Structure 1
Amino acid sequence: MQRAFVSGLLAAAFFAVPAQAEKLRLALQKTGTTGWELAVVRAFGLDRDAGLELEVTELAAPEAGKIAIQGGGADIIVSDWLWVARERGAGAKLTLSPYSTGVGAVMTKDPAIRTVKDLTGKKLGVAGGPLDKSWLMLKAFAQKQGVDLEKSATILYGAPPLIAEKALQGEIDAALEFWNFAADLEGKGFARAIEISDVEKALGAKGDVVVTGYVFDEGFAAKNRDALSRFFAMTAKAKALIASDDKAWAAAAQRIGPKDPATLAIYRKRYAAGVPKRSVAEEEADAAALYGVMAEIGGEKLVGPGKTLDPGTFYKGGEAAKP
């Protein structure tokens, strides 16, 4: 792998493949799980098997990927379906193929906190901000049970690492965290008091809902349908290997950094649980149901002018292949 760092922010990794292979340009967050999968792709030669040349630019933050896809600097990024829907509402022709259903949880060491009603009078840290999707769904879920969390609990917003640190220091009673920070806290003895996946179902979803997906332009997809199909099949194989093959997991785990074995095992378990298992139609139906909830509670600041999920948000050109 070759890497070129640009201004300390970007790193490009090029996978050597046969000259006739089709090139796909990916812009992906350096610390994301896509890095795990690409490590396995390289270790097992899955890119060669798929006849693909992957030109990967590693990014320091998710926003950089959005800029890359909007500016034509990448063919594929990973982002969430709500952002895609919002961009489509503004005229963009982006679309998404499911990547992960991985979602966080309310984490706590307080055995008295197991439901949203138990958060009354407590300090709750919220990773992200007032428009974080998990937070909006948790608020809507609480409201259905007669609880106004913003009035009944003390809410602290912050970046995921800050919220995790405050939870560890005991400065807050519970933390609504992203899935990977929740895994870290789980490894340190915190309990998953309220699963956001359960909240999604309570708000109308039929199953575990896709959170993020591979995002690309409709025009690119029309011209590269076969290459995309092979890309989806390749990444599906990498996902399956991470879940089932210890050699593959060892390659992936090198991207995580120093963690104790118990925490690494939690990461692997939660990652595997987040691999999408349903059809695109099922994912789209659930996303549409949750879109309505978030549009109602988050308004135009969150979803843009669209009142319903744009029907082109999910890519209909082919299912992500199962290995």
Structure 2
Amino acid sequence: MKTAFTSAALSRRRLLAGAAGLAGLACLPLPGAAQEAAPGAPSWRLRVGTLKFGTLNWLLETIRAEGFDTREGLALESVDFAGGQATTVALQAGDIDLIVSDWLWALRRTQDGERMRFAPFSNALGALMVAADGPVKGLADLKGRKIGVAGGALDKSWLLLRAYYKAQAGTDLAEAAEPVFGAAPLVSEQLALGRVDAVLTFWPYAARLDARGFRRLLDVKEIVRGLGIDPTPPLVGFIWRNAVMTERGGAISAFLRAAASANRVLATDNAAWERLRPLMQAGDDAEFARLRDYYRAGIPGTFGEAGRASCAKLYDVLAQIGGPELVGPNPGFDRSLFGPVGE
């Protein structure tokens, strides 16, 4: 199993194609769309909800520093929130125009009558981390162990790991092991202290553990492929209310083009990352490099029909194991959430 990301190992062509794919989502005309604005004269304003130390800020800073917002005639306003739930509430209230969240949340809102739209932000899905010299060497060693899980019992990565373990071992990991749920920084520290034997966590925290010498036992991407879902679909993306398309559809398109341009820079230009160091809060050079390389590995590729089909398969797996508590009283996969932005 490959367990290390290095800049040399990343395919320049794949990353550039991925960023171009995101730009392709924004190429179709939208209601209210205008011609490209003259530099320095914004035609569009977009309020983006961000987490204070979230990775979306890395992308937004690159957009501004490289002038991609100006080129697109876009005035970007970042609105910081303390947590993900606060961003979703603000989006539903119309206080902001766009956030980054998982599409399962957006799908449930759509099923409840509040239609949402989605475009990929990252394909990075997190990892199951263990101590390099610890007792867990393979999947079978998880039996009877304590597993720290970033988030709660309905965390998508945890549900996927349970489904994968059951397919491999024939039993539910929630019963075969002892899950310990908590915030990502907390469960990481529990692993460092030896109080849990493995940690299933989000990719930025996996990257930080990697830099500290911990080992990736299993990437969530591998779990998804192991469940027969290929290509690996994005789970996290840009989400906006369908209701804003008439008034701000042009702004959404402009933003997605700017984001694609910024990702092309971040995919290949190490100097651009030096500018982001203060936002990344890396403890040392090793942690900085891991965060950079994990981000690069998660730059989404072209999202088309195959990706939507993978999302549908992923939904079926999550709905089966998560049940109504996860998918709500009106379950069902709505492909319109993932349609091209111009539709």
Shift of 1:240: 1.7
Matches within 5 A, 1:184-223: 184-223=208-247
Structure 2 residue aligned with 1:234: 258
> What one-letter code is carried by the residue in structure 1 that aligns with 2:96?
A
Are positions 1:91 and 2:117 aligned together?
no
Gaps of 5+ in 1: 1-16
Distance between the aligned counterparts of 1:202 and 1:289, measured in 2? Answer: 13
Structure-2 change in CA distance of 1:167 and 1:58 (3 Å): same
Q: TM-score, normalised by structure 1?
A: 0.89
SS state of the match for residue 254, structure 1? helix
SS state of the match for residue 272, structure 1? helix
Shift of 1:313: 1.9
Are positions 1:296 and 2:316 aligned together?
no
122, 133, 138: which one aligns with 2:161:
138
**CA deviation profile, 1:204-251 (whole Å, cap 9, x unmatched):** 321232021111111322443333222111111111212211231112
Q: Tell which deviates more after alignment, 235-244 or 18-27.
A: 18-27
Q: Contact 1:99/1:212 (CA < 8 Å) preserved in 2?
A: yes
Structure 1 residue aligned with 2:103: 81
Q: Contact 1:35/1:252 (CA < 8 Å) preserved in 2?
A: no
Are positions 1:224 and 2:248 aligned together?
yes
Structure 2 residue aligned with 1:124: 147
Distance between the aligned counterparts of 1:140 and 1:216, measured in 2? Answer: 30
Q: Contact 2:116/2:337 (CA < 8 Å) preserved in 1?
A: yes
Distance between the aligned counterparts of 2:222 and 2:330, measured in 1? Answer: 26
SS state of the match for residue 224, structure 1? helix
SS state of the match for residue 254, structure 2? helix
Matches within 5 A, 1:1-323: 18-109=40-131, 110=133, 112-145=135-168, 146-318=170-342
Give 1 or 2: higher strand fraction: 1
Structure-2 change in CA distance of 1:114 and 1:280 (3 Å): farther
Q: Contact 2:44/2:248 (CA < 8 Å) preserved in 1?
A: no
Q: Contact 1:241/1:249 (CA < 8 Å) preserved in 2?
A: no
Shift of 1:152: 1.9
> What one-letter code is carried by the residue in structure 2 that aligns with 1:137?
L
Shift of 1:133: 0.4
Gaps of 5+ in 2: 1-38
Shift of 1:305: 2.3
> What one-letter code is carried by the residue in structure 2 that aligns with 1:41?
I
Q: Tell which deviates more after alignment, 271-280 or 67-76.
A: 271-280
SS state of the match for residue 45, structure 2? strand
Structure-2 change in CA distance of 1:39 and 1:32 (3 Å): same
Distance between the aligned counterparts of 2:238 and 2:122, measured in 1? Answer: 9
Shift of 1:318: 4.6
Q: Contact 1:123/1:174 (CA < 8 Å) preserved in 2?
A: yes
Q: Contact 2:144/2:177 (CA < 8 Å) preserved in 1?
A: yes
> What one-letter code is carried by the residue in structure 1 that aligns with 2:119?
S
Distance between the aligned counterparts of 2:219 and 2:270, measured in 1? Answer: 28
> What one-letter code is carried by the residue in structure 1 that aligns with 2:192?
L
SS state of the match for residue 271, structure 1? helix
Distance between the aligned counterparts of 1:44 and 1:135, measured in 2? Answer: 37
**Runs of 4+ deviating beyond 6 Å:** none
> What one-letter code is carried by the residue in structure 2 that aligns with 1:44?
E
Q: Contact 2:51/2:83 (CA < 8 Å) preserved in 1?
A: yes
Q: How big is the alpha-carbon RMSD for the aligned residues of Structure 1 and Structure 2?
A: 1.7
> What one-letter code is carried by the residue in structure 1 that aligns with 2:276?
A
Aligned length: 303
Q: TM-score, normalised by structure 2?
A: 0.84
